[in-house]
């Protein structure tokens, strides 16, 4: 594995932790400082679709980076997570282009299903649940329990995917709340 992959893993792990802290700050603002004129929440509402597009674009590019350049083969659960992540890029891109605000509910559904798959994948990695039975690593399959990234004692690819999905859900819930 090239040395730059360790650097990318560390940077992405720090970014994941920062995004988790950002999600917590949004939730605190939504729960405890719930005014519709809250400058922080209004700012997030104004840039919701830009944040969503950039985060989906980053996840899209990084998932392809890891599978196509670094050579980490995606497991079945990773593929399912990608199925619910990749349309986010298209939805947010359409939203930025058309500005009709009709993608919010669709995007929340995609992110919610992606979050559920990510949580299941985290349990598989931890050995709490068993992965898809159709995968046989001895015959070229990829086990869902393999951790290609394991930084700071808890940051793995499914944690990164879960964090992104929760971020998308949080900014879209904020958008719907402030827009009322």
Q: How confident is the model at residue 69 (pLDDT cuts 50, 70, 90)?
A: confident
pLDDT at residue 24 tops 80:
yes
pLDDT at residue 158 tops 70:
yes
Q: How far apart are CA 18 and CA 92, in angstroms?
A: 22
Region 98-117 average pLDDT: 88
Angle at 6 between CA 13 and CA 57, to 5 degrees: 50
- What is the domain count for the chain? 1
- Mean pLDDT, the chain, whole residue set: 85
Give the range of the structural domain holding residue 27, as residue numbers without chain letter.
Answer: 3-179
133-144 burial by CB neighbour count: b if 16+ within 10 A, else e? eebeeeeeebeb
Region 110-136 average pLDDT: 80
Q: How confident is the model at residue 1 (pLDDT cuts 50, 70, 90)?
A: low
Q: Which residue did the predictor score with more confidence, 158 or 149?
A: 158
Residue 172 DSSP one-character state:
H
pTM of the model: 0.88
Angle at 96 between CA 173 and CA 36, to 5 degrees: 35
Q: How confident is the model at residue 14 (pLDDT cuts 50, 70, 90)?
A: very high
Contact 66, 72 (CB under 8 A): yes
Residue ranges of E strands in the chain: none
Report CA-CA distances (Å) from 136 to 12, 44, 56, 76, 139: 29, 44, 31, 11, 6
Contact 20, 155 (CB under 8 A): no
Angle at 77 between CA 17 and CA 158, to 5 degrees: 10
Q: How confident is the model at residue 133 (pLDDT cuts 50, 70, 90)?
A: low
Q: How confident is the model at residue 19 (pLDDT cuts 50, 70, 90)?
A: very high
Share above pLDDT 90 across residues of the chain, in percent, rounded to a whole number: 43
Q: How confident is the model at residue 28 (pLDDT cuts 50, 70, 90)?
A: very high
């Amino acid at each position: 594995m090239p040395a730059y992959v360790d650097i990318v893993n560390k940077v992405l792990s720090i970014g994941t932790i920062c995004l988790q802290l950002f999600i917590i700050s949004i939730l605190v603002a939504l729960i405890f400082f719930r005014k519709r004129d809250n400058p922080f929440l209004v700012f997030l509402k104004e840039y919701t679709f830009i944040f969503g597009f950039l985060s989906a674009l980053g996840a899209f590019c990084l998932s392809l980076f890891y599978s196509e350049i670094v050579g980490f083969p995606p497991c079945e659960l990773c593929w399912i997570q990608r199925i619910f992540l990749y349309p986010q890029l298209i939805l947010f891109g359409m939203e930025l282009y058309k500005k009709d605000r009709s993608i919010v509910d669709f995007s929340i559904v995609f992110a919610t299903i992606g979050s559920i798959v990510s949580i299941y994948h985290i349990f598989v990695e931890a050995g709490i649940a068993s992965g898809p039975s159709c995968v046989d690593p001895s015959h070229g399959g990829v086990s869902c329990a393999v951790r290609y990234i394991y930084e700071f004692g808890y940051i793995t690819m499914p944690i990164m995917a879960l964090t992104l999905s929760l971020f998308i859900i949080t900014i879209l819930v904020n958008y719907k709340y402030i827009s009322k």
